[in-house]
Amino acid sequence: MKVIKGAEVTAGIQAEIEEELKQLGGYIPTLAVVRVGERPDDMSYEKNAISRMKKFGMGAVTFTYPESVSWEEFSGEFQRINQDDSIDGILLLRPLPPHLREKELERMILPEKDVDGISPENIAKVFSGDKSGFAPCTAEAVMEVLNRSGIQIAGKRAVVIGRSMVVGRPLAMMLLAEHATVTVCHTRTKDLEQTCRQGEILVAAAGRAGMVTEEFIGDGAAVIDVGINVNEEGRLCGDVDFQRVSDSGKAGALTPVPGGVGGVTTAVLGKHLVRAAAEGMRKRGER
């Protein structure tokens, strides 16, 4: 079984980003990370995203607000960031407290700065197979892992566990656009193990530590683990029981957690940021 390392995939993306940065004539793209409150998950993603943008030679600024921030103040701030020409892309960390209307913010964010694909315009593009927008970074990260590891997608049976708008659903559409035959599983799926065993590509994005065991794996399947969970011993782990699946020898390839899809997600964010910056410069007549 091949263990697919995220770092190998990221290296290829980084080389492309560096090439594209050279075309910007010294302009340094800047990401705005918008965070409300201090959820540890958000803070760790923010830290990783910022250090990754810096490593790629790009900038990042954070805008943080207390959970008590009013809708009026927050939406005003969000509009200001949206309109700021020195900001090329915006990453809004979610979920937000319920009084901060996520749906309205999704409609408010300028599609050309929406580097994590949350706006209706970008989502519609993903669902119609139009690649000119920004897809959610995690879903695209899975596609990068498959494509850059030489795993054929066209004609394959792909099974995705999870139907969230962040991962499962957009990913199913992206796999479909690349001509896979796609099945989406969720909490009401009957015969989950049997359905998953049909997958020549199996993507686990359920957020359930170690739920995917060898019984879920078809012979030679490429298994991509998107889950980021903390197990009973307090250790970071995926949705796939790595030990059991690798010991079984059934999978052809498997991504580890940590060290798999997570790092590729922030690399895709960087790829989107440089593209957003290039398009912004073109619009402003600077290139």
Quote the CA–CA distance of 246 and 1 in Å, as a whole number. Answer: 7
Residue 270 binds ligand NAD, judged by CB under 6 A: no
Given 151, 211, 236, 281, the residue binding ligand NAD (CB under 6 A)? 211
Burial track 26-55 (b if 16+ CB lie within 10 A, e otherwise): ebebbbbbbbbbeeeebeebbeebbebbee
Given 208, 244, 246, 281, the residue binding ligand NAD (CB under 6 A)? 208
Residue 99 binds ligand NAD, judged by CB under 6 A: no
Total chain residues near ligand NAD (CB under 6 A): 25
Residue 133 binds ligand NAD, judged by CB under 6 A: no
- Between 40 and 285, name the residue whose CB sits nearer to ligand NAD: 40
Q: Is 219 exposed, middle or buried (0-12, 13-18, 19+ CB in 10 A)?
A: exposed
CB 137 within 8 A of CB 269: yes
Given 31, 172, 174, 206, the residue binding ligand NAD (CB under 6 A)? 206
Three-class secondary structure assignment of 211-245: CECHHHCCCCCEEEECCCEECCCCCEECCECHHHH
Residue 199 binds ligand NAD, judged by CB under 6 A: no
- Between 88 and 116, name the residue whose CB sits nearer to ligand NAD: 116
**Shortest CA distance to 254 belongs to which of 152, 108, 117, 151?**
151
Query: 9-38: which residues touch ligand NAD (CB under 6 A)?
Result: none
* Adjacent-strand bridge partners of 61: 32
Given 91, 161, 221, 274, the residue binding ligand NAD (CB under 6 A)? 161
Given 226, 253, 268, 274, the residue binding ligand NAD (CB under 6 A)? 226
Quote the CA–CA distance of 218 and 23 in Å, as a whole number. Answer: 44
Residue 56, classed as helix, strand or coil, is: coil
- Between 53 and 161, name the residue whose CB sits nearer to ligand NAD: 161
Residue 138 binds ligand NAD, judged by CB under 6 A: yes
> Binding residues for ligand NAD, per CB under 6 A?
138, 161-164, 166-168, 185-187, 189, 192, 205-208, 211, 226-229, 261-262, 265
